[in-house]
Every structure is written in C-alpha cells, then in structure tokens.
Structure 1
Amino acid sequence: MSHPDAPAAPPASRTRTLVVDAADESSFRSLNGVGGVPGPAVGHPDFPDMTPLWREAGVTVVRSFDWVSRLDTRNDPTSLFPDWSADVDDPASYNFAATDRWVESVHTIGAEVMFTVASSIPRNKLPAEDVELYGRVVEHIVRHYSQGWADGPARPVRIYEFGDQPDFGPLHFAGRPDEFYAMYRAFCEAVQRVDPTLTVGGPAVAFPLEADAPYREGFLAYVRENGLPLDFFSFLWFTDGSRDPLDYRHVSRELRALLDDHGFAETELTLCYWNYLAVPSSSAPAAEKGAFQAATAIALQDTVIDHAFFFRADSGRDPHYGFVDPGGVGDVDGRPDERSRALALAGRAMRGRRLGVEGADESGFAGIAGREGEHVRVLVANYVAPDSALAPREEDRFTFRIPIGEQRIELGLTLPPQRAELASSGVDAVRLELTRLPWTGRTASVTATSLTGSVDGPTEVAVSAAGTLQLEFALPPQSALLIEVTA
C-alpha cells in the first residue's frame, strides 16, 4: 500500500526498494555524541541554547574541547587555571564558572561529558613549562569535575581526553612530540590519583592515515613502553577531499589494525569529530550537507568505531576564533536547517533495537531501521556526491590552506582510495516494504518527516495478516526521510 499523502513517485526505474525485517533484531552502536557549545554561559550570553535539539536527537555524550574549558599552558585570564604562579591547592586559583554551567547544561538532557584537556588554541600552542606542576593542576580540575572539589558538578564527569590535533602542523601544538608525550603521562597520572576507574584517552589526531607518524606509532610506542593507560584512541575525520560517507569505514579499519598490531586490542576507537567539510574554503548547500550527515550516521553503524562525535552540533559561534564556523548546524541564532534536522532525525531513528534492512547501496542511498516499543522508525538518505568528488584523482592526497591572521598554512593528508561506487545510481524515490511486523491485521499510523521540516501524516494504514506493510515516497537527491510507523 502506498502512503496516500506522499508526493507522486517517479517512474519505477528510478525507485529503489528497501526491505525492513521487523523480526531481525540487533543492537545499535553507541555513536550519538556531539561536539559544540551547549548554550549561553558566563561571558557568552548570546550563544543559542542547543540543548532542545540535542535532547530531540538523543545525544548521549558531548565533547568539551570547543568550550571555554581549556587549560592553557601560559597565563591566560580565560583559562581554567589563569595564573601559573597561583596556589594550586586554592579553589580561588581556578576559573570554573562558565564551564560548570555548560557541564550542567549537558547533564540536564541526560548526556555525559567527555572532558578534553588541551591548551587555548589558537592563542597558545606551547607545551607545559613545568610538567609536574601541570599534572597537579590537571588533578585538581579532575577532582572538581569528578569528585565535587571546589563546588564541582553534582554528577561526575568520568571520561577524560588529552590533546587536540597535535599533528595539525604548527596550529595546535608547537612543541616536540616528546614534550607532548610527557604531558600525556602527567595527565594520566593526575587522573589516576583522583580515581583509577576514570576513562582516559587521546590524542585526537587530525591526520589518522599518516603512517609512521609521531602522534600515531610514536605515541602508541611511548604509552606501551611506559605502561600508561589508553582506554580509547581518538581521531578526527572530515571529507573535504573525498565527499565520501564510507571514508569512515576505511579509516577505522586502518586504525583498528594499527591498535591491534601495537598491543592495544582492548583500546576503543573514538571518532572525536566528524562532518562533511572542515576547511573554511570548502562549501556546499545545507541540503547536501544534511543528506551527507544522514547517510554517514547510517554508515557509521557498520564500522569498527566505538564512539563518535558529530562536529559541530551548534550554531558555529566560536568563543576562541571569534567567527562563525561553517561546520555548525542551523543559523547563527540556532534556528534549524537541513543540517540540524539531519542530526535530530538520525538520533530519533537509531533508538531501541536495530532491525535488518536490505536494498541500500554504497552510492549514497542508505537506510537504517529501529524498533522502540510500539514504534518502528526507518531513516532513508539519498546523498549525491558532487562531480568534483567523482573526477579521477592524480593521487590519494588532499592539500589545503588554513588562514590564521596574515598566515596561510598549507597542510596535506592521505585519503582513502577513491571509490567508483560513490557515483549515484540516480534514485529519486523509495518503496518501503516492512515485513514481519508484530501488529498483524491492525491499523498503524504513518508519519514521514523530511530534512526541509515538512511532515506528512499521520495517516492510518492497515498492516496485513502476514505482518507486512508497503509504502512509497519521493526521495529526491540531497534529501532524507524519517518514516515512523506506530501501532
């Protein structure tokens, strides 16, 4: 049966059938984390409140790096520890107020915080001058957020990450690798003095496919040789150079093999930031970005990634760089667009138990389904890669420039192999076949929500005596639909 209110579907040759088996159940991976600023805080009253969107999206954990909660290695009035000559043991020496408010904002929606310890980039990228003192300061910060020292939050923070893109040229860490390693050791020892059951990891590498690199193999060797904990290895990946949602499958396989080969089989893999584009000169329409987000959120479920954080799930207002980051969602005041709706629809779809789905491809037509109580939800995406991503590459290398003041820093990274399958197969409609539904012979309600914000339904439909239901929807390029069927 077709959805009576759905737009007229194109000819069948461009219609793809997606079959959902409601009796084939498995688990979703825990990949619904985000990075971003939760909302207004001390010193930033104009930042929009993102927590309603995060609640709708079912966000489970938020990475703190882009907050004001940075531990600078030099004197800085905005740092968590503003003056390095101050008394380390005195609560008055710390600057917790704005960060505390954001931690509480995250906790109010039931999510956890992954607290990132890194310096106040872009103003300072220098290593600690006194590593022992640095460790003592980290210890007090962890005590504040995990044990309530100095009126810390009531709910403890239990996940701590060290570093943020130390391999990002001179832009994020202007020290030697051995200085970074020593800071990681001080960080680990500080966290363990507070509570050895807390989760620690790092180093948030920016270029995870660069082999024999100081912050990949070198970092892992140091951690192993010194017996340090590494509960998770974190990395970033954006697709400016490929525009391919399946990059994450390739990159995560490479890193999983790297960890296993270096004796870190129990270390989890954390994608601490992902998005379509990150380079300021890259651009794409919001609908294209939203379709990519939906397709990628689906694809991530079939990778070896243990935890993932979409960046950035806020308006893009940045408390450090003083500009609006194009990686944000919605407009500068937080009003939604296709990107924020993609975040919400993906979060709504991947709840409860995962259901078996057949009929998707590796060219941007993606589908996933879940059952939560009396609700079956199906997310379908139709992402189409731009022509620029389909042109044959001369090499699997992407170079770009980052403007920092008057500087133009040129950087490059290794890409996954280019896939011929990325080219779209021209789908613009979906036929949805739901099988083995538990509501045999009953009436169900169907609602379809798109990235544009349009909602069709609810419409009543009949489930067959065999537990099947057929629906059909237009699905133009650069779109996604969340179809909800409720008994």
Structure 2
Amino acid sequence: MEVTTDKEGSLMATIRLDTSKQLKSIKPLHAGGQPPVTSAAKDTYFHYLTEAGIPYSRLHDVSGSFGGGKYVDIPNIFRDFDADVNDPASYDFTFTDLLIKQLVEAGVEPYYRLGVTIENAARVKAYYAHPPRDYDKWAQICEHIIRHYTEGWADGYHHKIAYWEIWNEPDNGRQMWSGSFENYYRLYDVTAKHLKKCFGDKIKVGGFASCGFYGVAGGNDPFNMKPEHYQRYLDFFHGFMAYVKEQSSPIDFFSWHSYAPTMNTIRMDKWVAEQLDTYGYGHIESHLNEWNPFQEEAGNGHHAAEVASTLLALQNGRADMTCIYDMRIDGPDYSAFFDAKTKLPHQTYYTFVAFNTLYKLGTQVECVSDTDGVFAIAATDGKKNALMLSNISGTNQALSIEGVDLTEARVSYIDDHRMLSWAPNARELKNNSVVLIEW
C-alpha cells in the first residue's frame, strides 16, 4: 500500500466518501453481555444503556459474583429437576422477571442464554456445568421459560425476545460442560427441535457460543492456551456442524467468541463465514456474542480504539451482531464500560455511543480508508450524516477526508484523556484514538 504524507512529512490517512452510494443497514454490533445490575438487584446504571442505544443484552453470567444463584440460569429458575415441568409452582422467576423488566424499560431487548453460568472453580467442583439428566425434560423447561416471557404463562409477560441460545461454550471443558462433544450435540438437537416445534419462527434458536477459533486466526489469545485447546475448539465446531446437518437440527444463528485483537477477530469472522457456507448454512446469522480485546486495559485510548476498530471492521464483515463481554458494574474484570471505583463510564463506553450515532442514521454509505489500521464507516439518514474513524495503525495520522464538505461539522474525539469530547477540527487522528464527525 502506498504511504501518503502531508506537507510536513507526517503520515496521512485519506478517507474517501460518497454519501450518494448507499450500501446496507448499519448492523446492531453495539450490543453487550450481562447488564450493569447491582448486587442489590437495582437498575441504577441502566440509563447508560438507554443513552448509548444498546440494542441487546445477552444474559449469560448474570450477576454471578454477588447475586449468584438467582438469575436466568435453568437451575436458578427450575430448582428441583424432579419437579413437575408443567406446574408454575416449580419455577422461580422472581429475580429474572425483575431483570428483564428493567431491561425492557431501558429499551434493551434481552438475548436469553438457556443454560448455566461459567464455573471458574470447576477444578475444585462443578455444580451445574453437566449434561441434564433428561434432555427432553430440559427442553420442556426451556419451553416454559419462553412461554412465561413471551406468551404470559404462569403470570408472565409478552416481551419481545427473539434470540434463545442453547448453552454457552460447551467446548470449554469442565468449567462449562463436563459431558462429551456428542452429549452437547444431542442436547442442542433435542432442544432446538422442541422449541421450533412449539414456537416456529416466533423465536430464533442457535448456539453454541464457541470459545473461538484462534487456531485459524494466528493465535494471539490472551489466555496463553496450548495448541491442543485450539484444536479442541475446531474439532468441536466441525463435529457440531456435521451433526446438525445430518440430524436437520434447526439453527437460526451460530454464535462464537473472541478475546483476540481486532485483526485476529477479523480473520475469525471471515473463517466462520466460509465454514457456514461450506456446511450449507450461509443463510443463518453469525453472532460474535462475547468479545473484548485487551480487556485489562479498559479505560484507556488503546482499548477504546481496538473496540471501535472491531465494530467498524465487522460492519464490513460477516457478523450480524456482536455483544461485548460485558456491561457489568460490580468488579473490574471484563467490565467494558465502567470504572470499577467511580462506577462512571469510561472511554470504551463512548465508542458505543459513537457507533450508535451511525446505527440511528441507519444506512451505511461508501467510505474507504487508504491506510491499514485506520478503520472508517459512514452512515446517513438522507439528511444527516456521520463518519466514525479509529486508528490502531501504530502511528499518528494526518487526516484527509474527501467527498464531503465538513465546514459545519461537529467533531468529537476519544483517546486517553477525552471521552467523545468536542474538538475544533479533524485534521489528525492520533494512534489509539477514535473520532466521530457529524454533519
């Protein structure tokens, strides 16, 4: 790629736009994992989700640290597996009812993971990460949970909840699944067939929330995994796809995870697309529903820029939805949005606010960056326009934006010191920074 410099010899990134060339809808890539519910079950911080336009909250690992044993999980709701599956008294919806009500009031659609929370101390003992004793009964329990939240069963609700995910990371070993590969494949088949028989196209079912495909994306995982782990994930995937194809198991979406840097995640996204096509499932949705590159850096410019780069890259990729892991408020690990001490949103939260500006405008327009590591997406509603840029190229870049008049544009930056703060112009995009331009 040709390297461009400005008059002073600085590296220059050129962005070329044509707002008359409309491409496709901006995708709901700014969804998140568990919401910022407090240990006291309060929605004090949910207004931040509303203000950022978060479209979905994937309900997995919900309040596992402090409210563990109360929310979402099958054993938290159906506490005695020997109880009558058709009796409302067998179900304890109390805390999950409250949580989903809080999400709906915040304008966020729940994305429900049917299964269990990860058991990080499974090396000592795992209590719930086991295959159900009766797959048919487990599927019926899932059915009644869906009926409670979407059809009003058991003094329930008529919420809009489209996505129902069957388990999480069964390829992760004993922390998530003590059974064999085939045990999970069969659980998926039994459950998916039962749920689609009950609800048809009123819901979307999928899985399996793969740990990720680092082995085909150049490695670069933050967990220092061994090659045999990479191979396990690939073997599990290929076994699953072959099984659902052979059994004609319903699947509306395939879900997968990545905690790798942007460029590795882009490779995974492309590989998933190729594999879905190969197996004859090119028509289903692809969900990256756990991701968080350099999560230990959350709250600085680099983390914000990496996250923004992934969002912008996948708008041009295959993924139909992404859910960052996650939006928790209690505890610093994997909290992508909030400072653990102040409970205030930091830089990465504002990348989602910026992306939501594109999402609200609705339609992606032609926008090309000539520089590796500088990502750009523009959107329009026919009257108003916005351009979002991120720089993880490793160097500061002077900016040349062609094809539009930005004389009256509003410019906002995110970096180590700014959180979508106003700036007088967009003449430079420093390394590890994000800019939003609106006109």
- TM-score using structure 2 length: 0.82
TM-superposed CA distance for 1:352, in Å, is: 2.1
Structure 2: which 5+ residue stretches go unaligned? 1-5, 63-70, 120-126, 217-229
Counterpart for residue 464 of structure 1: none
Distance 1:369 1:450, change over 3 A: same
**Separation of aligned partners in 2, 1:272 and 1:12:** 42
Q: Which residue of 1 aligns with 2:173?
A: 169
How far has the Cα of 1:334 moved from its partner?
A: 3.3
Larger deviation, residues 269-278 vs 337-346: 269-278
Distance 1:50 1:100 in 2: 18
Residues 141-192 of structure 1, C-alpha deviations (whole Å, 9 max, x = no match)? 1111221211223323222111211111322111112221222123213312
2:314 maps to which residue?
300
Which of 101, 104, 121 is matched with 2:101 structurally?
A: 104
In the alignment, does 2:415 pair up with 1:446?
no
Q: 1:205 aligns with which of 205, 210, 215?
A: 210
1:133-144 counterparts in 2 under 5 A?
133-144=137-148
Cα displacement (A) at 1:195: 0.7
* 2:161 is the alignment partner of 1:157: yes
Contact kept? 2:170, 2:177, Cα under 8 Å: yes
Q: 1:255-307 deviations in whole A, cap 9, x for unaligned?
A: 222222223232222111122136xxx55762210111111111111111222
The answer on 1:233 being equivalent to 2:261 is no
Once the two structures are superposed, the pairs formed by residues 28-39 of structure 1 within 5 Å of their partners are: 28-39=25-36
Q: 1:37 to 1:261 in 2, by over 3 A?
A: closer
Q: Which whole-Å deviations, capped at 9, do the CAs of 1:214-264 have from their partners, x for residues lacking one? A: 53111112212222101111110111xxx3x23233212222222222232
Q: What does residue 430 of structure 1 align with?
A: 399
Instruction: Please say if residues 80 and 94 of structure 1, whose CA atoms lie closer than 8 Å, have aligned partners that are also in contact.
Output: yes
Question: How much does 1:29 deviate?
Answer: 4.2
Equivalent residue, structure 2, for 1:45 = 40
Contact 2:36 2:43 in 1 (8 A): yes
Letter in 1 for 2:437: I
Q: State the secondary structure of the residue aligned to 1:195.
A: helix
Q: What's the offset of the Cα at 1:326?
A: 3.3
* Structure 1 position 191 matched with structure 2 position 208: no
1:449 Cα offset (Å) = 4.1
> Which residue, out of 70, 73, 82, partners 2:73?
70
**Distance change in 2, residues 1:336/1:12 (3 Å):** farther
2:151 is matched with 147
Alignment correspondent of 1:361: 371
Partner of 1:393: none
Correspondence for 1:309: 323
The 8 Å contact of residues 17 and 430 in structure 1, kept in 2 or not, is answered as: yes
CA distance in 1, matches of 2:7, 2:74: 56
The reply on whether 1:20 has 2:17 as its aligned counterpart is yes
Which residue in 1 is equivalent to 2:92?
95
Q: CA, structure 1 residues 428+47, in 2 after alignment: closer, same or farther (shift >3 Å)?
A: farther
Cross-structure match for 1:218: 239
Structure with more helix by fraction = 2
- Report the counterpart of residue 462 of structure 1 in structure 2: none
Equivalent residue for 2:333, pick from 325, 337, 344: 325
Aligned length: 398
Determine which of 254, 272, 291 is the counterpart of 1:274. Answer: 291
What displacement does 1:196 show?
Answer: 1.3
- 1-side partners of 2:410 and 2:162: how far apart? 40
Amino acid at match of 2:355: A
Alpha-carbon distance in structure 1 between the residues aligned to 2:103 and 2:25: 22
**Among candidates 257, 265, 269, match of residue 282 of structure 2:** 265
CA distance in 1, matches of 2:292, 2:7: 31
With over 3 angstroms needed to count, the CA separation of the structure-2 counterparts of 1:250 and 1:54, relative to structure 1, is: same
Q: 1:274 to 1:344 in 2, by over 3 A?
A: same
Match for 1:158: what amino acid? A
Q: Which moved more, 1:286-295 or 1:114-123?
A: 114-123
CA distance in 2, matches of 1:218, 1:454: 45
Partner Cα distance (2:368, 2:212) in 1: 33
8 Å Cα contact 2:61-2:118 kept in structure 1? no
8 Å CA contact retained: 2:255, 2:287: yes
Distance 1:275 1:120, change over 3 A: closer
**In the TM superposition, what is the alpha-carbon distance from 1:103 to its structure 2 partner?**
1.9
Identity %: 23
**Equivalent AA in structure 2 for residue 328 of structure 1:** A
Q: Which amino acid aligns with 1:354?
A: Q
C-alpha separation between the residues in 2 aligned to 1:95 and 1:330? 30
After TM superposition, what 4+ stretches of structure 1 lie above 6 angstroms from structure 2?
A: none
Structure 1 unmatched ranges of 5 or more: 1-8, 73-78, 318-322, 385-423, 460-470
Q: Give the Cα–Cα distance (whole angstroms) in 2 for the partners of residues 309 and 207 of structure 1.
A: 14
Asked if 2 retains the 8 angstrom alpha-carbon contact of 1:54 and 1:344, the reply is: no
Contact 1:161 1:200 in 2 (8 A): yes
Distance 2:297 2:30 in 1: 24
- CA–CA distance in structure 2, aligned partners of residues 50 and 454 of structure 1: 19
Checking the alignment, whether the CA contact within 8 Å between 1:368 and 1:380 is kept in structure 2 is yes
Q: Which secondary structure state, in structure 1, belongs to the residue aligned with residue 303 of structure 2?
A: helix
DSSP-derived class of the 2:185 partner: helix
2-structure distance, mates of 1:132, 1:448: 53
Q: 2:38 matched to 1:84? A: no
Which piece of structure 1 moves more, 443-452 or 62-71? 443-452
Whether contact under 8 Å (2:298, 2:304) holds in the other structure is no
**Residue number in structure 1 paired with 2:300:** 286
Contact 1:35–1:65 (8 Å) recurs in 2: no
CA distance in 1, matches of 2:37, 2:320: 30
C-alpha deviations, 1:11-50, integer Å up to 9, x for none? 4523433232222222234232423333447xx3266644
1:379 aligns with 2:388: yes
Deviation per residue, 1:303-325 (Å, 9 max, x gap): 1122222221333x3xxxxx542
Aligned mates of 1:446, 1:12 — CA distance in 2: 27
> Using the alignment, how far apart are the partners of 1:120 and 1:37 within structure 2?
11
Cα root mean square deviation, aligned? 2.7
Counterparts in 2 of 1:49 and 1:300: CA distance versus 1, 3 Å: farther
CA distance in 2, matches of 1:256, 1:450: 31
State whether structure 2 residue 251 is matched by structure 1 residue 251. Answer: no
